Structure 1
Amino acid sequence: MFQTGGLIVLCGLLAQTTAQLDVLPLSLDNGLPLAKTPPQDPHPTDLAGSLTSGLSSGLLSKNLLGILQNLPLLDVLKSRGDTSGGLLGGLLGKVTSLVPVLNNIVELKITDPQLLELGLVQSPDGHRLYVTIPLGMILNVKLPVTGSLLKLAVKLNITAEILAVKNAQGRIHLVLGDCTHSPGRLQISLLDGLAPLPVQSLLDGLTGILNEVLPELVQGEVCPLVNEVLSHLDVTLVHSIAEILIHGLEFVINI
């Protein structure tokens, strides 16, 4: 004989199970949703890449390349080019023939400025980072002697020291320490092959002047931008790097 009581119990269990399934949230593929992984702090091996990437993008967004392209290089050279104890008098000595040439340069213009891949090293005590900012550009030089345009490839490195400091409120941030160029490390090469001997002599003298003037001029523009970019880096990134530097821990550099 069919048991009515058993049927009632079975129906009750089925109804309860159906109700429980109805309240379970389903994803689009009819499976249970996966739990979201909470965001993690940057791993130490990512900090170096994040820092150099942030500095590069920051410098570019601050129009570094446009600033370099519009440097008043010829005006600066001429303003320092008097022979009465000025730049030319101190550097060139017997190469006095360059003085009238410099004063009559038809064109000296920077084109194709580039920000190359940044380098990063940590100081031996662990409390500082040194960022190498390599720059490249082309100098278009038109001399009356030739009447044609000469192209010079120029490479220059600016080195920025980064420190971590803590203010009176206990907040830590990154600041710019020394920001310099390496004397004598300016690389200048003629792109258009060999120049005639008279022109080559003039270019040698001009290169000597550029070695004294151009790095200083570029440094004066780049270093304030680096300091400004540091103040606008991601807060989490700044905090992570500053904590490492303040305690002198090893900064993992793999870029």
Structure 2
Amino acid sequence: TMCPLWRLLILLGLLALPLAPHKQPWPGLAQAHRDNKSTLARIIAQGLIKNNAESRIQNIHFGDRLNALAQVAPGMVGWLISGRKHQQQQESSINITNMQLDYGGIQMSFHKEWFSANISPEFDLELRPPFDNNIIKMCAHMSIVVEFWLEKDEFGRRDLVIGKCDAEPSSVHVAVLTEAIPPKMKQFLHNLKDNLPKVLPQLVESQVCPLIGEILGQLDVKLLKSLIEQEAAYEPTHHESSQPSACQAGAPPS
């Protein structure tokens, strides 16, 4: 008669064991569960991971947006034209690599039925100048804030409204990581570094903002209201700030 009980205890014990690292389908989600006390932050993190937000951002092609960069970066038009006058394989390119969304660092703020999420993407940029085999490495960091609130319609029913979703201008940092810069590239690189912060946030927002709206839009409004009330009651008075990265510091890593 005790056999089924022992089997149940053994089964419960196995379920309690942590998964092996290689079996974890989304490693970022484990970090989010450890670091975030907010259920809504974990829901957002899980949704971003499942929808491959990092890959979407990393796969952004700058080709369609180089003209926009050229409009704000003096000297870039000539640089791009000179690259296109010759062989295609020698064209200039900018690629995003090492994309990291700080899933565990998603911060939530609440006020009645209004709430916001703060997400901090960080990534590297690889700039390949025309007719130069040397890749210039840069990095970028920003904080994107997305606002939501519950709004009653004429019948008293609540709907989720998505407000602004954009990067805080003061949070956008671009740093050059490559130390040995060819003299002929220094002026152009200076212009590019100054003007990338005007373009990069829009590219990242175009991927992150719709996803967050879609993730929270799938939640039942009553459940969402309950989560907001619960988390607003236990929200800490201040958020712990993490150490600035090399990009935030604006200097190459030592």
Distance 1:195 1:80, change over 3 A: closer
- The correspondence of residues 69-218 of structure 1 with structure 2, limited to 5 A, is 69-78=58-67, 81=70, 86-88=71-73, 92=74, 96=75, 98-103=76-81, 104=83, 105-116=91-102, 117-122=104-109, 126-144=112-130, 146-167=132-153, 170-172=156-158, 174-218=160-204
One-letter amino acid of the structure 1 residue matched with residue 201 of structure 2? P
After TM superposition, give the deviation of residue 205 of structure 1 in Å. Answer: 0.9
Distance 1:78 1:250, change over 3 A: same
The answer to whether the Cα contact below 8 Å between 1:164 and 1:173 also exists between their aligned partners in 2 is: yes
CA shift digits 1:121-156 (9 cap, x unpaired)? 536x54422211111111111112643111111112
CA distance in 1, matches of 2:155, 2:50: 30
TM-score between both structures, scaled by the size of structure 1: 0.65
- The correspondence of residues 1-12 of structure 1 with structure 2, limited to 5 A, is none
Distance 1:203 1:184, change over 3 A: farther
Aligned pairs, how many?
Answer: 200
Partner of 1:13: none
The answer to whether the Cα contact below 8 Å between 2:107 and 2:119 also exists between their aligned partners in 1 is: no
Partner of 1:238: 224
TM-score between both structures, scaled by the size of structure 2: 0.65
Partner of 1:28: 5
CA distance in 1, matches of 2:53, 2:96: 13
Is the partner of 1:56 in helix, strand or coil?
Answer: helix
CA RMSD of superposed structures (Å): 3.3
One-letter amino acid of the structure 2 residue matched with residue 214 of structure 1? L
Q: Choose between structure 1 and 2 for higher RCO, CA contacts under 8 A separated by at least 6 residues.
A: 1
Larger Rg: 1
* Fraction of identical pairs, as percent: 26
After TM superposition, give the deviation of residue 194 of structure 1 in Å. Answer: 4.2
One-letter amino acid of the structure 2 residue matched with residue 51 of structure 1? L
Distance 1:137 1:189, change over 3 A: same
CA distance in 1, matches of 2:157, 2:119: 28
CA shift digits 1:87-135 (9 cap, x unpaired)? 34xxx3xxx3x33224435221112211113432536x54422211111
Is the partner of 1:28 in helix, strand or coil?
Answer: helix
After TM superposition, give the deviation of residue 169 of structure 1 in Å. Answer: 5.6
CA distance in 2, matches of 1:145, 1:202: 15
